[in-house]
Amino acid sequence: MSDPAGPRPLALVTGASRGLGEVVAGFLAAEGYDLVLTARQPAGLEALSARLAVHGSRIEAPAGDVSDGAHRRLLAERVARRGRLDLLVNNASELGPSPLPRLEEYPLPALSRVFDVNVLAPLALVQGLLPFLTAARGTIINISSDAAIGGYETWGGYGASKAALDLITLTMAHELADRKVAVVGVDPGDLRTAMHQAAFPGTDISDRPLPAVTLPFWAWLLHQDPSAVTGHRFRAQADQWEVPARA
């Protein structure tokens, strides 16, 4: 939460133009954050930035693909103007082919794309932004999925990428502890989003909750001591959230 007497904290949210990313961006703006938002859809980013301006946030919203190195460098340039980054939310994700194929039939170029966006891009963003996260003693949030641990049929490609991201989250939490940078994994649960609909083409997913169902979780998480939550993986739609005791 921002300090009303101090400078506004800065957050970078990827995949921010719709769905969960849009909800997180709105929550952070209301909490007093300035924002760097990105997604592939410029129209969605522009509309979101206009809506969030009511909170007084300074918002920059360059559109682009996080798997593109040139776009990541652009994001780092925008952050460098402030010299610090308080929060990085690696939310942008690639589902893969729709309908989802079984692993035995999975086209490897498509799987490579899934890993580029879901694994390599978040890691590359951290690498490029680490000096600014260190300056702020910031927090990294990597968006995971229950598919990372479920072994669900046809979800193997996406799930494997999120399982890899989970391991990156835990490892970075250990490696960045001396810099006082926290790293947290979040499974948002099933949500009524365009990505979830693409995973179930032709199926009515109106029984899934909208991404705003996660708002109580974000309010809880972002008011915890970062040193207590680093290295942990939370389910945003759990009945309650607790910080596990350290061994």
Say which residue the tokens 């949500």 belong to: 191
Separation between Cα atoms, residue 115 and residue 124, nearest integer Å: 12
Residues forming a β-bridge with 136: none
For CA atoms 118, 33, 36, 180, give the dihedral sign: negative
Nearest Cα residue to 222 out of 87, 130, 92, 95: 87
Residue 201: is it exposed, middle or buried by C-beta count within 10 angstroms (0-12/13-18/19+)? exposed
Alpha helix ranges (H) inside 53-138: 69-80, 108-115, 121-136
Picking from 168, 197, 8, the residue whose alpha carbon sits closest to that of residue 90 is 168
Encoded tokens for 243: 């910080």
Amino acid type, 138? G
Tell the residue number behind the tokens 């007093």, with chain if given.
32
Question: Does the annotation count 158 as an active-site position?
Answer: yes
* Length in residues, the chain: 247
Q: Could you say which of 33, 106, 152, 158 is catalytic?
A: 158
C-alpha pair distances (Å), 137 with each of 85, 211, 242? 8, 28, 22
For residue 125, give the nearest of 51, 74, 201 by alpha carbon: 74
Active-site residues: which are they?
Answer: 158
